[in-house]
Amino acid sequence: MIDGKRIRLSVPAKINWSLEVVGKRADGYHQLRSLMQTVSLYDQVELAIADSDSCQCSPPVDCALVGNLAWRAWDLLRNTYSLDNHLSINIVKDIPAGGGLGGGSADAAAVLLGVNKLFALELSVAELATLGFTLGADIPFFLYGGLAEIRGAGEDVLPCSQAQEYPLLIAIPPASLSTAMVFAAFDRLSPGAVVLDFSGLLKALQSGDIAMISAQMANMLEPAAMSLCPEIAVAKEILSSHGLFPLMSGSGSCVFALSDGDCERENAALAALQKQGIAGRKAHSLTHGIVDETVIK
């Protein structure tokens, strides 16, 4: 155990370059296939061994211990490995909540990694991922980060090599979406089977072929999410009209757009989003995941 020290982690968001729903399991989870990648919107998570348990977020959001994924990650490791300690969790939020960018799951993954180090548990990433999946389907991905293919309900993570990072715009509609509500809408709409070209998309991402990437990007949850949040369609239309290649991330409501790096085009798109009451951010894809920035005495 690292006595008297804090650990600070930089925790990136994620996007889904492609998301296919391939079925539904008996336990209610949907079977997915997706290409996911971490992106440069970050939460900061700081953990410290403390005299009492606490979990605080800034700006203030619902960080109540009961139901909070970051807290539940600590509670899971504490109970599983009989850790007789208390933990202070402080999260500085920059990843939008309810946007399909994975902020809650990312923070939980950071707690798993941080506690593993603070208490010298020496668990492998695969072991942490198995534990993390019991809390949330996206947590295993965040323990790996970078570019990865996701299968099953999120438990199967296949890291992929990638040599470059891509400029992106991220549109953040004012309305957030519940993943459960989007999947319920998806089930009601009963869309027909769609087979996505994952190998073609992966090859394009690895080769830097922007035209091919944009042609292969797809998310089967978009129609369901748009039925609940029309601003998604508005954001996509604005980004498309400025020569960018937009796609909703995860179950929404955020939309990311692949850019060619033209600053003038990007700034015009951000201004157009703002006129419609939709926030926008510049970002880029990442080849790494959660970063242990420092251990502070």
Residues sharing a CB contact under 8 Å with residue 199, sequence separation 6 or more, in sequence order? none
| Three-class SS of 83-151 | CCCEEEEEEECCCCCCCCCCHHHHHHHHHHHHHHHHCCCCCCHHHHHHHHHCCCCCHHHHHHCCEEEEE
SS3 category, 161:
coil
Tokens of 261: 């790096």
Known active-site residue 14: yes
Closest CA to 18 of 37, 42, 38, 31: 37
Residues sharing a CB contact under 8 Å with residue 16, sequence separation 6 or more, in sequence order? 34, 35, 36, 100, 219, 247, 249, 250
Out of 14, 93, 117, 236, the active site residue is 14
Out of 27, 138, 187, 209, the active site residue is 138
Residues sharing a CB contact under 8 Å with residue 243, sequence separation 6 or more, in sequence order? 260, 262, 265
Do residues 51 and 86 make contact, with C-beta atoms less than 8 angstroms apart?
yes
Residues paired with residue 70 on neighbouring β-strands, in sequence order: none
SS3 category, 203:
helix
Residue with tokens 């850019």: 259
Which residues are known to be catalytic? 14, 138
